[in-house]
Amino acid sequence: MTLRDVLLDPSIFAKPMAFEPERWLSDNPDLQRINQAYVPFGKGSRMCVGLNLALAELYIVIASVFRRFDMELYDTVRERDVDAVRDCFIGETSPESRGVRVKIVEAYRSSLLAREK
Ligand code: HEM
């Protein structure tokens, strides 16, 4: 299946392009239904065996990056750099896209480094 078609299907995930992390909280009455359709790692007996490692890495990397850097989007246009606008077997962004880019506006010293000094 094409992940994008499932994960961005508004009949499954309400407002799929909106950043609504609270949809994953236990008080969402729809949680069981959306969990069933959460397929980035596949489902069933052949699903990704690296799921827990991948999630652990993602949590650490995302937390480290957002804690250390204040960023703003740089030369990023949703229609060109985010939306799928062409068919390359899977949906792809425009060929002109250089990806979603950010500019570091401030870098913080990590509290770990600060303690070592
Ligand atoms: C964000 C990171 C990752 C994503 C989105 C991802 C996604 C997937 C998907 C969609 C499948 C196919 C599942 C299916 O056929 O139903 C798969 C299979 C697999 N993945 Fe991952 N994966 C990730 C990271 C990893 C990591 C870190 C490892 C190993 C350390 C790993 C090892 C495997 C293996 C061995 C399979 C084949 C399982 C089988 O066929 O029985 N993956 N992964």
Question: pLDDT tens for residues 6-60?
Answer: 999 999 999 999 999 999 999 999 999 999 999 999 999 999 999 999 999 999 9
* Closest by CA position to 35, among listed 5, 6, 1: 6
For 67-92, letters b (16+ CB in 10 Å) and e give ebeeeeeeeeeeeebeeeeeeeeeee
- State the closest ligand 1 atom to the C-alpha of 46, by its place in the atom list counted from 1: 41
Please check whether residue 39 is in contact with residue 8, taking contact to mean a CB–CB distance below 8 angstroms.
no
Residue with more model confidence, 89 or 116: 89
Decide: 46 in ligand 1 pocket, CB within 6 A. yes
Query: How far apart are the CA of 72 and the centre of ligand 1, in A?
Result: 31
Ligand 1, atom 28, residue with closest C-alpha: 50
- Helix, strand or coil for residue 79? helix
| 99 against 4, higher pLDDT | 99
Which amino acid is present at 37? A
Euclidean distance between CA atoms 86 and 95, whole angstroms? 9
* 48 annotated among ligand-binding-site residues: yes
Q: Distance between the two ends of the chain, CA-based, in angstroms? A: 52
pTM summary value:
0.82
Residue nearest to atom 9 of ligand 1 (CA): 41
What are residue 102's DSSP bridge partners? 73
